[in-house]
């Protein structure tokens, strides 16, 4: 079981790195293919795309200057993540049963569940990537009239994303020995159906900046989750799960890139920070995505 799973997992990581390297974009944050989730690398590439579009938020020079300072205070993210009113969902995410169980278990106990997680998330990542292409296609309708240069840039990025998704599906079959039937729409789990619906709704209602706010639980949240597990005295640090999930996801470089981008743009969007009159737009987006991320973990654990 351990040997066959290790072979499968190695093939999965190799597949992700192959496509992420092939689609690395220019910008202040080189695509870092150490992440096991293609959604993370995908989000970093989208940050780069938006940084390179003139007039879209903070300039490329401003973002690069913010990155060089490395005075990462997570001002934007902390305002939401550490808010007392959001600790219910933050704690539920950080204490999801799947990652806690595998972190504290031996390979013999964890691997059957970890394999289900890996296969399931390969499938669900494909569906997420497919939805993201549709999301970005919807976003083209919100570009200003006559802004053809931005339209060309966005269309090229959309084509790259579509090719990435196609390649990911082909690699799932050829390298991971999966079946094309695994990627049929009928295999979507309920949490991902909810995720898909949420993304498509936001595509029609929200602006480009909120796309990056939505990624906070996936990028920053996974880093916080892995760091918490790594520092937990009950975590077994010699297991496959520790080496292949906790260690790579605890790397703060992914979260650093996101917070640099968000903090560089924060002053341009002050009008949308939460007020005492009720829940703000950004908090709503993060709370909803936290629920969906937690539900994805729960869907794997509950299949045990």
pLDDT at 204: 61
Mean pLDDT, to the nearest integer, of 194-198? 77
Asked if the model's pLDDT at residue 29 lies above 70, the reply is no
45 with 31: CB under 8 angstroms?
yes
Alpha-carbon distance of 237 to 239, in angstroms, equals 6
Lowest mean pLDDT among 11-25, 138-152, 196-210, 269-283: 11-25
What pLDDT is stored for residue 115 in this prediction?
Answer: 79
Cα–Cα distance, 214 to 6 (Å, whole number):
32
Pairwise pLDDT comparison (64 vs 14), residue with the higher score: 64
pLDDT at 290: 94
Is there a contact between 281 and 210 (Cβ–Cβ < 8 Å)? yes
Could you please report the per-residue DSSP string of 184-225? SGGG--HHHHHHHHHHHHHHHHS-HHHHHHHTHIIIIIHHHH
The domains of the chain, with CATH numbers, are 2-301 (1.20.910.10)
List pLDDT tens digits, range 258-300: 888 888 887 665 545 454 444 578 888 899 999 988 988 888 7
Least confident range of 29-43, 192-206, 222-236, 245-259? 29-43
Q: Is the pLDDT of residue 4 over 50?
A: yes
Which pLDDT band holds residue 149 (cuts at 50, 70, 90)? Answer: confident
145: its two tokens: 């009239």
Q: What is the pLDDT of residue 294?
A: 93
């Amino acid at each position: 079981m351990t040997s066959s799973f290790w072979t499968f997992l190695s093939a999965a990581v190799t597949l992700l790195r192959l496509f992420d390297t092939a689609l690395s974009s220019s910008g202040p944050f080189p695509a870092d293919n150490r992440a096991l989730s293609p959604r993370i690398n995908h989000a970093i590439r989208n940050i780069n795309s938006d940084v390179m579009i003139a007039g879209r938020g903070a300039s490329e020079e401003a973002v690069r200057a913010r990155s060089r300072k490395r005075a990462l205070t997570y001002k934007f993210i902390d305002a939401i993540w550490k808010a007392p009113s959001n600790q219910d969902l933050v704690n539920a995410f950080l204490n999801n049963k799947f990652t806690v169980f595998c972190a504290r278990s031996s390979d013999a106990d964890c691997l059957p569940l970890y394999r289900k997680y890996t296969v399931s998330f390969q499938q669900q990542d494909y569906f997420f990537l497919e939805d993201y292409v549709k999301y970005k296609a919807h976003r083209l309708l919100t570009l200003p009239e006559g802004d053809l240069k931005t339209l060309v840039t966005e269309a090229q990025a959309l084509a790259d994303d579509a090719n990435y998704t196609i390649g990911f599906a082909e690699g799932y079959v050829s390298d991971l020995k999966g079946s094309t039937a695994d990627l049929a729409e009928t295999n979507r789990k309920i949490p991902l159906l909810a995720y898909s619906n949420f993304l498509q709704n936001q595509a029609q209602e929200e602006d480009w900046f909120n796309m990056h706010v939505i990624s906070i639980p996936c990028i920053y949240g996974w880093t916080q989750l892995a760091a918490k597990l790594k520092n937990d005295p009950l975590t077994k640090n010699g297991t496959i799960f520790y080496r292949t999930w906790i260690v790579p996801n605890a790397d703060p470089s992914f979260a650093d890139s996101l917070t640099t981008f968000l903090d560089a743009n924060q002053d341009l969007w002050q009008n949308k920070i939460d007020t005492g009159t009720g829940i703000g737009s950004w908090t709503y987006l993060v709370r909803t995505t936290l629920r969906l991320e937690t539900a994805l973990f729960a869907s794997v654990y509950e299949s045990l």
